[in-house]
Homo-oligomer: A and B are copies of this chain.
Amino acid sequence: MNTGNLTPTDLERQAMRAVTDHARQLAEEGHDIIFTAAIVKDGRIIAQARNEAADTNDVSRHAEVVAIARATDALATRDLSGATLITSCQPCEMCLATMRWARIDRVIFAAQQENTKPEFFRFPGLKITDYHAACDGCFDWHGGLDEDRVAHIYAQEDDA
């Protein structure tokens, strides 16, 4: 399995711990849709979020999109160049494109597409390597960090 082309920093590892803690907590509380994310920038975690699609009746409110919106709100700019997106589960196509609209070029996720349910993706035939190639490597990525902490939440039925 291709786990990407970057090595997480200590801060990014700390942010992933917070993101996976958040997902595990939501799972323990019995939530239906459990995806969490954070934005790291300028040496700190500037935003954290969970999926809010059901709460807002807005399909676009995935954890990553909410975290990005909180970060652009906090910094009063739509340009998050230099930030890292940290997510509990590999971002779907919508979230990956949203990340790039915010000029984020670094993404780290725990659960990898190959180990999760097909319904978490809308164009399942396309992999992150396809998106990476389709923009001439415009972002760096790493998959599988702390995956063991959340794998049970996103696992395919066969693996559960």
Write the residues of chain A forming the contact surface with B, with a CB cutoff of 8 angstroms. 53-54, 57-60, 65, 68-69, 72-73, 76-78, 92-94, 96-98, 100-102, 122-126, 130-131, 133-136, 138
| A122-B135 CB under 8 A given contacts A72-B57, A73-B57, A78-B57 | yes
Give how many copies assemble into the complex: 2
Across the A-B interface, give the 8 residue pairs with the lowest CB-CB distance, nearest first.
Answer: A125-B134, A94-B97, A123-B134, A100-B122, A93-B97, A59-B101, A126-B134, A59-B102
Kindly list chain B residues whose C-beta atoms are within 8 Å of the C-beta of A122. Answer: 97, 100-101, 135, 138
Bound-state Cα–Cα, A133 to B101, Å: 24
Contacts of A54 in B (CB 8 A): 78
Interface CB pairs A-B, < 8 A, 20: A57-B73, A58-B78, A59-B69, A59-B102, A60-B60, A92-B97, A92-B101, A93-B93, A93-B131, A97-B97, A97-B123, A100-B122, A100-B123, A122-B135, A124-B135, A125-B133, A125-B134, A125-B135, A125-B136, A126-B134
